[in-house]
């Protein structure tokens, strides 16, 4: 009743409800995310099944999704038990691990293991097929949204616009895909959660807060503790976490930022910090369709750090450890 009265008096801020096309896109992207997670669980169950049969294939192969690993599993399901014959199915770089493969494939794989493994592979194939259909639906739905379409050099727009060499505005998904760590598929998932109208969020900080990526502090007197995780869009945070992990492996500003924070605060905090930076970039790219992402470079922070101040900090740290420091310029 109290909430109803506040609403009548206009004292409650309205919730973010995206338009119908974005809601349809969100249904597709969330369904795809759920199917991908279920497919991952199938691979994990298959790996556990193999380990129960003393088949340690995942300790040699980088992952079971490789073609070599799938060929070996399919052969074991068909009845092949000789570890040397199975190891000979290795392709490319796995051929150099022949002896390790023979040892890993020597186990107690039985017919009932093969039956269960076949069921898991059939489920994985079914989920992959459904995921492919959803990806096609996502592309078609996003292409039909006018705000997500690009603009050609002559000013024309449409589902096929914005893909030429000289375009005025790139499609929204392609603009976001220029950010390190974001693919076109992930860009569509992010657009489905945030929408394309950034006037809903007056500043980038409002979008960050809505996503639940704001830093939370808990202080009682002189003691400070890490705050609890706030509420936010779980699907958006998941996509940003994947993007941050992908950007961490690149020689870019975001990759250098991840490494710099991870050395001091740990990988978990670095992932959240880089995810927040990516979301700020996304807000600017969607707020101004004519904007394009430009990387600052991995040496951006180092080039703007005062050299003398850095020397003083290092000397002060060494003196605090009881060491006398003498600085001599290099020749």
Domain spans of the chain, in order of start: 20-139, 171-214+228-323
Torsion of CA 11, 15, 19, 24, to 10 degrees: -160
Per-residue pLDDT of the chain (331 residues; tens, 9 = 90+): 999 999 899 888 778 888 999 999 999 999 999 999 999 999 999 999 999 999 999 999 888 999 999 999 999 999 999 999 999 999 888 899 999 999 999 999 999 999 999 999 999 999 999 999 999 999 999 999 998 988 888 888 888 887 877 788 889 999 999 999 999 999 999 999 999 999 999 999 999 999 988 877 777 777 777 666 667 889 999 999 999 999 999 999 999 999 999 999 999 999 999 999 999 999 999 999 888 899 999 999 888 888 888 888 889 999 999 998 888 887 6
Give the pLDDT score at 241: 94
Query: What are the tens digits of pLDDT across the range 41-96?
Result: 999 999 999 999 999 999 998 889 999 999 999 999 999 999 999 999 998 888 99
Cα distance between residue 135 and residue 39, in whole Å:
15
Contact 156, 169 (CB under 8 A): no
First to last CA, the chain: 78
Fold classified for 20-139: Helix Hairpins (1.10.287)
pLDDT of amino acid 305: 80
H helices within the chain, ranges in order?
2-8, 20-52, 67-78, 83-87, 98-104, 111-143, 172-177, 184-194, 204-211, 234-247, 253-265, 267-287, 300-303, 307-320
What pLDDT digit, counting tens, does each position of 84-105 carry?
999 999 988 889 999 999 999 9
pTM: 0.84
The span from the CA of 234 to the CA of 236, in Å, is 5
Question: Can you tell me the distance from the alpha carbon of 269 to that of 227, in angstroms, rounded to the nearest whole number?
Answer: 13
Q: Is 81 helix (H, G, I), strand (E, B) or coil?
A: coil
C-alpha dist (Å) from residue 67 to 79, 95, 97: 19, 13, 15
Q: Can you give the pLDDT at residue 229?
A: 67
Residue 104 is predicted with a pLDDT of 93
């Amino acid at each position: 009743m109290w909430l109803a009265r506040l609403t009548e008096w206009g004292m409650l801020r309205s919730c973010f409800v995206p338009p119908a096309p974005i809601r349809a896109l969100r249904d597709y992207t969330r369904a795809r995310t759920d199917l991908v997670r279920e497919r991952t669980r199938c691979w994990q169950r298959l790996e556990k099944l193999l380990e129960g049969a003393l088949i340690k294939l995942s300790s040699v192969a980088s992952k079971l999704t490789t073609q070599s690993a799938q060929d070996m599993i399919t052969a074991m399901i068909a009845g092949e038990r000789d570890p040397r014959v199975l190891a000979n199915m290795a392709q490319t770089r796995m051929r150099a691990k022949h002896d390790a493969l023979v040892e890993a494939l020597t186990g107690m794989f039985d017919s009932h293991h093969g039956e269960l493994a076949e069921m898991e592979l059939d489920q994985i194939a079914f989920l992959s097929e459904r995921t492919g259909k959803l990806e096609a639906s996502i592309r078609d739905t996003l292409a039909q949204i006018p705000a997500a379409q690009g603009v050609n050099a002559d000013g024309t727009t449409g589902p096929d616009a914005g893909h030429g060499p000289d375009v005025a505005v790139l499609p929204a998904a392609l603009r976001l895909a220029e950010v390190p760590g974001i693919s076109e598929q992930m860009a569509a998932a992010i657009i489905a959660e945030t929408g394309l109208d950034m006037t809903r969020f007056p500043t980038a900080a409002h979008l960050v807060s809505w996503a639940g990526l704001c830093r939370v502090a808990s202080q009682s007197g002189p003691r400070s503790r890490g705050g609890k995780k706030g509420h936010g869009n779980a699907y958006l945070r998941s996509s940003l976490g994947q993007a941050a992990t992908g950007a961490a492996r690149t020689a870019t500003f975001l990759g250098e930022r991840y490494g710099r924070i991870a050395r001091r605060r740990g990988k978990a905090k670095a992932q959240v910090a880089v995810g927040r930076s990516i979301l700020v970039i996304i807000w600017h790219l969607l707020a101004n369709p004519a904007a394009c992402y430009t990387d600052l470079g991995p040496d951006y922070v180092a080039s703007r750090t005062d050299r003398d101040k850095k020397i003083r900090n290092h000397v002060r740290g060494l003196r605090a450890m009881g060491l006398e420091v003498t600085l001599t310029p290099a020749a």
